[in-house]
Amino acid sequence: MKLFYFFRKEDLTGISGTGPVVEGVQFTNGWCAVRWLSATSSICFYQNLEEVKLIHGHGERTEIIVQDLAPLSKKKPIHSGVSFEILMQLIEQASRLMVLAEDSTLKKPAFDQSIAELRTLLKRFEKSFHISGY
């Protein structure tokens, strides 16, 4: 697994600014998750780090600083596709929960339901690793 961040020397678009603008992780299967450090942050996923560099690197105006971490296990999970799909659902549900938490008109049952759905997904995610031998 590799952690990385973008240090932008010059901002061509005037949107992201200069300095550290992105933090990211490249998983052992090559996929990358990228989080923008702006006030209106978002998270994006890419198939590999080269794709991230090509789309967001701005040529020589952005330095990509990478830290390589040893994988936790060399054993590949049998159901890695299932685990990834559940992880994506977890991220989506957590995002919904954050939006609900900021809604001043929210009723407690809706919030509790969202928490319950998140717990169910976490249990499914944990179970997917037990099935794959972790």
pLDDT class of 78 with cuts at 50, 70, 90: very low
Please state, as a whole number, how many other Cβ atoms lie within 10 Å of the Cβ of residue 22: 21
Q: Who's near 20: CB < 8 A, 6+ residues apart?
A: 5, 6, 7, 8, 37
Average pLDDT over residues 98-116: 80
In three-state secondary structure terms, 38 is coil
- Domain segments of the chain as ranges: 2-68, 80-131
Report pLDDT digits (tens) over 30-74. Answer: 999 999 887 777 899 999 988 888 887 777 777 888 887 665 555
pLDDT class of 1 with cuts at 50, 70, 90: confident
- Listing DSSP states for 80-133 in one string gives HHHHHHHHHHHHHHHHHHHHHHT-TT--HHHHHHHHHHHHHHHHHHHHHHHHTT
- On the question of pLDDT at 75 being above 60, the answer is no
CA distance 44 to 35: 7
pLDDT of residue 38: 78
CA distance 116 to 110: 10
DSSP 65: E
Report pLDDT digits (tens) over 17-26. Answer: 778 888 999 9
pLDDT of residue 70: 60
